[in-house]
């Protein structure tokens, strides 16, 4: 089957670094997405990884290991506004026009 | 500004009264999709469309209808809403669906309550 696992909740301190993990099982791989979603708002696109390694975008970086079925989102210099849910998603192997979504990791950034 | 526009933002309705949630995008995207989001269940796809007049069922299509008569519009229709359709709904569009690095652009969401 196809599945995504993420921790349900995480807590971190303003100014710190936090790593949000995502493991996936899929019979074929066509990339991995990370989205940020503030409570009651729409998800917004953060990153897309299709090759192994780390991709950096300002304070946010995303890492992928296809052999391990593993990705993480790294958030540096945390700010209060980073308190949100972070969603991991991969295209469905049988129909890559559909995404399989994780349930999201709710991150709370404390002062 | 590139965006997906959903209306209404909030809607309270009664069981059985037909309703339509509109979705429009101005990015000339071929792919559009509807999701519902419920606590503990995450985002679940209702229907998606690869292009005009091309629609397909997602994971939870029962009780919903869609149409794609124009590229920019993808309305969601609830012919006879029931309380279990109370949810937060999102429309999304993309250049290429689940592949490619462009990701999805989501509308602001519609919070629907059926009593």
Residue A6 to residue B57: CA distance in whole angstroms: 26
Residue B31 to residue A22: CA distance in whole angstroms: 26
B1: pLDDT strictly greater than 90: no
A64: pLDDT strictly greater than 80: yes
Residues 6+ apart with CB under 8 A from B39: none
Paired tokens of B114: 């059926």
Range B94-108 average pLDDT: 81
Q: Under a CB-based contact definition with an 8 Å cutoff, are residues B67 and B79 in contact?
A: no
pLDDT of residue B103: 84
Answer yes or no: do A30 and B98 touch at CB < 8 A.
yes
Residue A41 to residue A38: CA distance in whole angstroms: 5
Structure-model confidence comparison of residues B101 and B61, the more confident one: B61
Structure-model confidence comparison of residues A111 and A94, the more confident one: A111
pLDDT in tens, A82-93: 999 999 999 887
B98: pLDDT strictly greater than 70: no
A96: pLDDT strictly greater than 90: no
How far is CA A89 from its chain centroid? 7
Average pLDDT of the residues of chain B: 94
pLDDT of residue B7: 97
B99: pLDDT strictly greater than 70: no
pLDDT in tens, B29-83: 999 999 999 999 999 999 999 999 999 999 999 999 999 999 999 999 999 999 9
Answer yes or no: do B98 and A101 touch at CB < 8 A.
no
Q: Under a CB-based contact definition with an 8 Å cutoff, are residues B55 and B76 in contact?
A: no
Answer yes or no: do A99 and B100 touch at CB < 8 A.
no
Chain A, nearest residue to B46 by Cα: A98
Mutate to test the interface with B, among A98, A100, A102, A103 (most CBs of B within 10 A): A98
A2: pLDDT strictly greater than 90: no
Question: Tokens 């309380």 belong to which residue?
Answer: B83
Residue B92 to residue B107: CA distance in whole angstroms: 6
A26: pLDDT strictly greater than 80: yes
Kindly state the helix (H) or strand (E) to which residue B6 belongs, with its residue range. strand B4-7
């Amino acid at each position: 089957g196809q599945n995504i696992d993420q921790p349900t909740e995480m807590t971190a301190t303003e100014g710190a670094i936090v790593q949000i993990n995502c493991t996936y099982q899929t019979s074929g791989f066509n990339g991995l997405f990370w989205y940020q979603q503030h409570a009651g708002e729409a998800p917004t696109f953060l990153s897309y990884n299709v090759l192994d390694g780390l991709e950096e975008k300002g304070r946010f970086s995303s890492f992928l290991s296809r052999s391990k079925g593993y990705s993480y989102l790294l958030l540096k210099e945390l700010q209060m506004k980073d308190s949100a849910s972070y969603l991991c998603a991969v295209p469905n192997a049988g129909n890559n026009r559909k995404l399989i979504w994780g349930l999201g990791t709710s991150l709370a950034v404390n002062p | 500004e590139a965006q997906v526009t959903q209306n209404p933002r909030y809607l309270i309705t009664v069981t059985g009264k037909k309703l339509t949630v509109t979705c429009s995008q101005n990015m000339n995207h071929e792919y559009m999709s509807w999701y519902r989001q419920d606590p503990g269940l995450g985002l679940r796809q209702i229907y998606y469309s690869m292009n005009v007049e091309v629609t397909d069922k997602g994971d939870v299509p029962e009780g919903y209808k869609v149409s794609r008569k124009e590229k920019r519009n993808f309305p969601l229709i609830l012919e006879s809403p029931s309380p279990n359709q109370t949810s937060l709904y999102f429309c999304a569009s993309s250049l290429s669906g689940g592949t490619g690095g462009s990701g999805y652009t989501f509308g602001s969401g519609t919070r629907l309550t059926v009593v």
